[in-house]
Amino acid sequence: MQNKNKITALTLLILGCFTIIISCNNNNIENGIFFRYHSKQSDSIIPLNRNQNISLIKDNLYFNNGNIHIGLPLFEDIDVDDKIVSIKKGIVLLYPPEYNLSIDTSTYHFIIKELIARDKNNIIAYPRGNYKFPFLQVLELNPSKTVMCDSNGTYLKDDSLVYCIPTNTYLKLYSKDFDVFHEDNVIYGKYKNVVYYLDTPIDTLR
């Protein structure tokens, strides 16, 4: 009887924790600030009504008014004690069909969190850096043959192309002969006897 009571108490505790987790996740969505672009050709963003039905599916996929959207963080630079600090202003929801993109939710997942995603049909990049407003780019890589070249997330390649993630560029070389190596905690690319730093050839091996 005592063991039965312990099992019951443990079950209630687990259910309670699970309820709290779900509640917290739902609150994060409900209290979140969401935007959309005025149009695909515009950088103007419009806040979405907080009463809209927005729910998180997985990774950065959201369900909004019966449609799947891709949610990308929007950052704003502010001056704090004479230092420019980026703060997260909210999430911009992009509607994939507007980008001629169809998302397969069952296979969609991040290769690199918040930067590169893959589903059975596409490799999708969410570049940062010099870009103030979030956007997506469908890469010219075959998703079934794309591999990460290094654990630092510097290069991706398939059977024909090499893509440099930090610079959002393709290297003009034959991917089969491309490799990477570490030196002084830096990732370098190597194509035959040419050494690359990111997308730039910097040296020739002797």
Q: What pLDDT was estimated at residue 40?
A: 74
User: What are residue 114's phi and psi, to 5 degrees?
Assistant: 70, 0
Point out which residues pair with 70 in neighbouring strands.
Answer: 61, 94
Report which secondary-structure segment, H or E, holds 37.
strand 34-37
Q: For the chain, list residues with pLDDT below 70.
A: 1-31, 51, 129-132, 205-206
The answer to whether 139 and 170 are in contact (CB under 8 A) is: no
Q: Please provide the size of the chain in residues.
A: 206
Q: What pLDDT was estimated at residue 115?
A: 93
Q: Note the pLDDT tens digit of each residue in 178-193.
A: 999 999 999 999 999 9
> Who contacts 107 (Cβ-Cβ below 8 Å, separation ≥6)?
118, 119, 120
Q: What pLDDT was estimated at residue 45?
A: 86
Q: Note the pLDDT tens digit of each residue in 122-132.
A: 999 998 765 56
Give the type of residue at 3.
Answer: N
Report which secondary-structure segment, H or E, holds 2.
helix 2-30
CA distance 34 to 52: 10
CA distance 199 to 98: 30
| Domain boundaries of the chain, sorted by first residue | 1-31, 150-206
Residue 64's Cβ-count burial label (10 Å; 0-12, 13-18, 19+) is middle
Q: What pLDDT was estimated at residue 13?
A: 38
Spatial strand order in the sheet of 162-164? 147-148, 155-157, 162-164, 169-171
